[in-house]
Every structure is written in structure tokens, then in C-alpha cells.
Amino acid sequence: MAATLRSTVIFLCLATDVAKFETFTRNYEYFNQSMIDPPNPEAELKAENSATVSNGALQITPDTSNPSMFNYSYRTATFKTHFLVIMYPVPSSDSSPGEGLAFLIAPTIDIPAESYGPYLGLTSPSTDDVKNNGIVAVELDTVKQSFDPDNNHIGLNVHSIISVVTKSLTPLNITLAPPTPTFHNVWIQYNGTEEIIRVYIADQPERTSSTYPTYPKKTNHRIQSRFKENWLLVLGAYLGYYLYKKRLVERSNSYILSRLKTLPGMPKEFQFKELKKATNNFDEKRKLGQGGFGVVYHGLLSGDNVEVAVKWFSRESLKGEYDFLAELTIINRLRHKHLVQLLGEFQTLKSYMTTCYRWCHKNGKLLLVYEYMQKGSLDMHLFTKTGNILSWTLRCQILAGVASALNYLHYEYDQKVVHRDIKASNIMLDSHFNARLGDFGLARALDNEKTSYAEAEGVIGTIGYIAPECFLTGKATQYSDIYAFGALLIEVVSGKRPGTRMNGFQFMVDYVWSLYREGHILDVVDERIQDDYDKEEAERLLLLGLACSHPMAVERPQTQAIVQILSGTLAAPRVPPFKPAFVWPAMMPIDEISESTSIDTTSIDTTPFSINQF
């Protein structure tokens, strides 16, 4: 008998403690011997007896066992599983079919001795019908024993190979082991509170899913092929846990709604059906883009004939509702001509023709609606293979707009705001190519008197725009925003992404620094512009880009100086011919040291080190 499993395997375990839960995920696109114990004792998957890997799939006859999942609370669990199975006789000298297949829940992964034949690998003569053997199984039986109704039935086994309940499949025109291969979908659901198990079977394959517990089978030296193509197991705590979580979600939804409606200047709520109609039921063809926080769709509001962009935030993409509300509060209060802005009533959109956010909350989803930016994002124009190339004048105009917005966030707003994700794709352009800094999904407002550091789980941002100190601290500051702006500045002037490799250099900033040292810094200017640019201005902008990209955070210019340099009212900054080494810990101004309360100095190695090519 042969059986294989081919699919992506996903595990989800929920602890029974109502206050906590844990999840883990494993994706297996294929299988090989190194993933199985034996031969690899460190592998996550354990094979018993003759179970092995064949042709990139798990061959699970006569048995496959995997690490058991224990319910340490001793409460009855609720679970559901789905698998797609195919069983059929294989021609051989012995044409008798195999015994069948069973879905098993057992306290151990050990296979009982002498459990072949009618015992299906579940029990043995010495362990069958023993109350403490702890087994529960659903069998798909293809051989009639004296205690079976026929050779084509489903049975529920508790402690014993003799089923407590059976159901013949013949009246349903379902044959488990037909002469020709046939797919069968099997669903098993158990409600631990009601103590009811439900089993469903259909001979038409449906949408496939994935996961794994244990599937024992015994052949009694007879041959039968089974292929498990797909299976899904979600093992959860009892029904009370589900109800507890449901109440939390409902409470969370109420909290979100109450907070949204009390935000200062918050626009009125859209009806979900309005946005559904505007985007043609969120048609894939209307999709403008997709990021870590949601999907953006192009929409047209009926009646007003106004183009909008609808950003749908999925709950799963957010770290938490409270974090999201904090971010939305930031956007709601910001007011600057070079930022995407939250406004009031819908009439404001038509009067000012500026970015207007609206919102809609339905079934745990949050949607923001803002003015459709006709020219799209900056990166679309910098790296277009068709259409017009951005002129030098427009490039300078865009950079000046972004610098003005950044200065507002850092110094003109009543709190320090760190954007944390400045890059070309987050800069939107209106019909006149005026820059609008958007996507505040990672932004954080900081108390001026406390700290200039924003908490972050790991390194936040895009490679090439991330300051070197962020890789050590995991935190973003105003200085790291300046570093990202420096990368953007070089990107706009050169027409090349920050991570473009040039002459052996991994990042553009290192290549530009080498050209500056050799006296050929203008060689990096986008060749598509040809000579249609101001050489003195180009050199000033490139030097500013290098200054903003200084490895040491405190050596970078502040936004007030950046705005003046871009306007030509302040001379270009002095830049050393060789890129300075990155040294940590860095010397910071006294006021900055007193503010950086989030850094635990007792846990930092104070021995300086340098990375010349960070």
C-alpha cells in the first residue's frame, strides 16, 4: 500500500489559557529526507516504521506520525480538519484491498505492536478497548470485519477498533476505494463543549487547504494506494475561548468607532456600499498598489463624479488597533500643503482640491478615502520606461516640497513626528507635480521633552533608506529621517535607486562619494536629462545628499538647513572626501543624551567599533 501527501503544511496551535495564545507556522512546498527524523534527528517531522519521503511527497503508508499537540489544561478541545484523499487498488499478485485509512488523535506517537490488519495501526489485541489508551479515531474502512456493517463505511472509534457509530457510504453512491482513482473531500469537526463530532465526505474536490496531525493505516500485506493531496487542521481551545475572543473583538470594534468619531476635525463616515460601488466591488483592475498596511483602489464617487483612492486596512496587517488609532490621530491633525491631509466635510474636497481622507469602518475593517493623485507616485516617473522624463526643474521642485514637509514634521508641528518610511514610492504627485509626502503607517509622534526615539520592533523601513544606527538600536529618530531623505535626494538627481550597484559599490551613496573624491561628482546626474540642468545646483544637491547620508547621525544637517540649501539661500555643506566610518556608540549632544531614556546603557557594549562600508 502506498500513500503520499503533497501540499503546503500550516500549523496553528491555540493555547487553552483564555488570556494567552501562541501560534506557529510551517510552510513545506516539498519534502526530502533531510526534513524527516530519521535520518535527521533534528528534523521537525518524525517518521515511524516505513513512512518515508518519495518523489517530493510524504509516503505515509503504513504510518506517519508527527509531534503530538498536548492540551495541558486538561480541557476538551474544539477542532476541525479537512483533507483530500484518493484510495484505489493497485494491481499486484494479491489483489485484495487494504484495510482503509483513519484520522487519529492519540496521547503518544508510538504505534502499538501487532496493530496491523483490521487494527488499522490504532490499537492491538492487548490495547484494544482499554479505557486509558486515549485514542479517538475516524476510520474510512474498505474491508468488512465481523464487527463492520460493510466494506465501504465511515466509523467513529473510541478506545477500540470496533466503531461506536458507523455509516455506510454505499447508499450515498460514494465508494472509498473504487477501481479508478477518485478524489474524496473529508471534513471532521468536533465541538468540545457540546461533545459532538461531525464527519462529512464528498467525492468532488473543492478548494484545497493545508496542515497535519497523524494518519495511521495498516495493510495486512495487501496493497492499496492513498494520496492525501491537501488537508487543513485548526486546533483551538474550547468554545468558551472562542466566545471570549469574540467579545474582545466586539469591544475593540466599539472602541475604534468611538475613538474615530471623537478625533478632532474627523470627516464624517462613508457608507461601505458607497465605497464598494465606487471601486466596482474592489475590482482587482482598480488596484493602484499594495503595501504592508493594506490595498489601495481607484474609485469614482457616483453623483459627485470625483475620483478617489480608497485604502483598505485589514486588521491582520496591523500590529494592533491602539497603534493604528495613534497613527490615524497623527494624520488627522497634520496640516501642510506638502502632506496628505485629513480634512473635514466632503465640500472641503471640492473647494480646496487637496488630499482628503474619509473613513469607513465595517466588520473590523478600516477604509480611508483620499483624493486621487493624478500623477501617481514619484518612483513611477523616475523609473518609467515610457512617457516623459522628469525635467530638472520638476525634480528640484519635488525635493523642495518633501524637505518642507519634513521640516514641518520635525520642528513646526506641536510634536516631533518621525515618518520612518521616506522613499520615492511614498511621495505622491498632484496634477502640477507638487510633492505630497504620504503613507504615515509607520509614523510616530514623540513628546518633545521626553525622547527623540520611536519604538520599533526590529528594523523598520526599506533597505537603502535605513540609517546605519537603526540596525543596532532598532529605533528611528529625526536623524534617520534625514538619512532617508539623503538617499532620496541622490535617487532623484541620479535616476537610480539607492540599492543600485555601480562600479562594485553596493549602494549609490558609496558610488557618489567615490566620484566626489575623484572630482567627477556630476557624472552621476541622470543621463536622460542630458545637459539640461544647472551644474552648480546639481553639485549642491549631491553634496547635500552626501551630508544627509553621513554615517554619524549627529553630523547630518537639520531640516531647516536643508530647506535653505535647496532654495539656494545657504551654501552647500562641507563634505569630507572619504566617507567617514560608522562608530557606535556615537557621541550625542547633551540634550539628546538626556532625552534618550529608552536606551538601556547597561546592556550596551561601550567598546566603539566601526563599519567603513555600512
Mean pLDDT comparison of 69-78, 326-335, 336-345, 488-497, highest-scoring range: 488-497
- What CATH number does the domain containing 499 carry? 1.10.510.10
Shared-domain flag, residues 326 and 211: no
CB atoms within 10 A of CB 308: 23
Say if residue 311 carries a ligand binding annotation: yes
Shared-domain flag, residues 524 and 406: yes
Q: What's the rounded Cα separation, in Å, for the pair 342 and 538?
A: 35
Shared-domain flag, residues 203 and 254: no
Nearest to 278 by CA among 263, 291, 297: 297
- What CATH number does the domain containing 64 carry? 2.60.120.200
Banded model confidence at residue 270, pLDDT cuts 50, 70, 90: confident
Question: What's the gap between Cα 163 and its chain centre?
Answer: 44
Name residue, grid cell 482499554: 130
In this predicted structure, what is the pLDDT of residue 259? 54
Shared-domain flag, residues 367 and 385: no
Confidence check: pLDDT of 286 > 70: yes
Shared-domain flag, residues 397 and 323: no
pLDDT in tens, 398-436: 999 999 999 999 999 888 888 888 999 999 998 899 999
In this predicted structure, what is the pLDDT of residue 96? 57
Shared-domain flag, residues 194 and 254: no
CB atoms within 10 A of CB 453: 22
Structural domain of 292: 246-372
Mean pLDDT comparison of 190-204, 262-276, 472-486, 575-589, highest-scoring range: 472-486
Shared-domain flag, residues 21 and 98: yes
Q: Which of 341, 372, 403 is the last residue of a domain?
A: 372
Shared-domain flag, residues 423 and 533: yes
Residues with a catalytic annotation lie at: 421
**What is the distance between the terminal CA atoms of the chain, rounded to a whole angstrom?**
58
- What CATH number does the domain containing 259 carry? 3.30.200.20
Shared-domain flag, residues 100 and 174: yes
Confidence check: pLDDT of 174 > 90: no
Banded model confidence at residue 262, pLDDT cuts 50, 70, 90: low
Q: What's the rounded Cα separation, in Å, for the pair 573 and 565?
A: 8
Q: What's the rounded Cα separation, in Å, for the pair 379 and 391?
A: 14
The mean-pLDDT minimum among 86-90, 124-128, 492-496 falls in 86-90
| DSSP notation for 105-160 | E-S-SPPPTT--GGGTTT--TTTTT-GGG--EEEEEE-S--TTSS-SSEEEEEESS
Name residue, grid cell 504505534: 111
Write b or e for each residue in 543-561: b if 16 or more Cβ atoms lie within 10 A of its Cβ, otherwise e: bbbbbbbbbbbeebbebeb
pLDDT in tens, 537-576: 999 999 999 999 999 999 999 999 999 999 999 999 999 9
| DSSP notation for 164-201 | SEEEESGGGT--SS-SS--EEEEEEEEETTTTEEEEEE
Confidence check: pLDDT of 113 > 80: no
- Of 220 and 393, the structure prediction assigns the larger pLDDT to 393
Total domains, the chain: 3
Q: Which of 185, 205, 237 is the last residue of a domain?
A: 237
Q: What's the rounded Cα separation, in Å, for the pair 341 and 333?
A: 8
Are 2 and 226 a contacting pair, CB within 8 Å?
Answer: yes
Shared-domain flag, residues 96 and 201: yes
Shared-domain flag, residues 22 and 154: yes
Shared-domain flag, residues 46 and 111: yes
pLDDT in tens, 79-111: 778 777 777 665 554 555 567 778 877 777 666
Confidence check: pLDDT of 603 > 60: no
Angle between helices 559-567 and 535-548 (to 10 degrees): 170
Q: Which of 372, 407, 441 is the last residue of a domain?
A: 372
